[in-house]
Amino acid sequence: MSDASEFAKVIATVPLFEGLTKRQLASIAHVCFEAVYSPGDVIVREGDRTAEHMVVITAGTAEVTHKGKSLTTLGAGEVVGEMALLDGLPRSASVTADTDVRAIVLYRSAFQTLLNEVPGIYARLLTTLSKRLRAQDERLASLG
């Protein structure tokens, strides 16, 4: 998969991008690229301050670990690092390929450029993030 229209279809499934138009998704897809990881390859490393990218797994599986403890296994359609596009903070966990993994990668620098060049992305992202925060607040309130 190296076609921008295929990338756009996958990018549309990322929760952060749920409110974007097809045109905005296409703009993002044009700055994405496909990456292939072999078993044992580290996709992102816990604590890494330089890995400012998001990865959407399109095939294969990867293990998520935190402080050396296995947390979960990710597969096709799952996202790693979407918040890194916005904040650039160190990774909270490591993700390592269990099998051959194919993924779509979007770097923060390219995404930040798009935010300045493509009208409306900022506003839609803020709306999406606000909805996610409200939903989280409701979940927390229901626990108390």
- Domain of 71 in residue numbering reads as 4-143
3 state SS for the chain: CCCHHHHHHHHCCCHHHCCCCHHHHHHHHCCCEEEEECCCCEEECCCCCCCCEEEEEEECCEEEEECCEEEEEECCCCEECCCHHHHCCCCCCEEEECCCEEEEEEEHHHHHHHHHHCCCHHHHHHHHHHHHHHHHHHHHHHHC
Chain-wide mean pLDDT for the chain?
90
pTM of the model: 0.85
pLDDT at 96: 97
Percent of the chain with pLDDT over 70: 99
Over residues 125-134, the mean pLDDT reads: 86
CATH code of the domain covering residue 29: 2.60.120.10
Q: Give the C-alpha separation, 52 to 138, whole Å.
A: 30
pLDDT of residue 10: 93
Q: What are the tens digits of pLDDT across the range 8-23?
A: 999 999 888 888 999 9
Per-residue pLDDT at 9: 93
The arithmetic mean of pLDDT across residues 85-90, rounded, is 83
pLDDT at residue 24 in the model: 92
- On the CB side of 120, how many CA atoms lie within 13 Å of its CA? 10
The count of domains in the chain is 1
Q: Where are the alpha helices (DSSP H) in 31-107?
A: 84-87
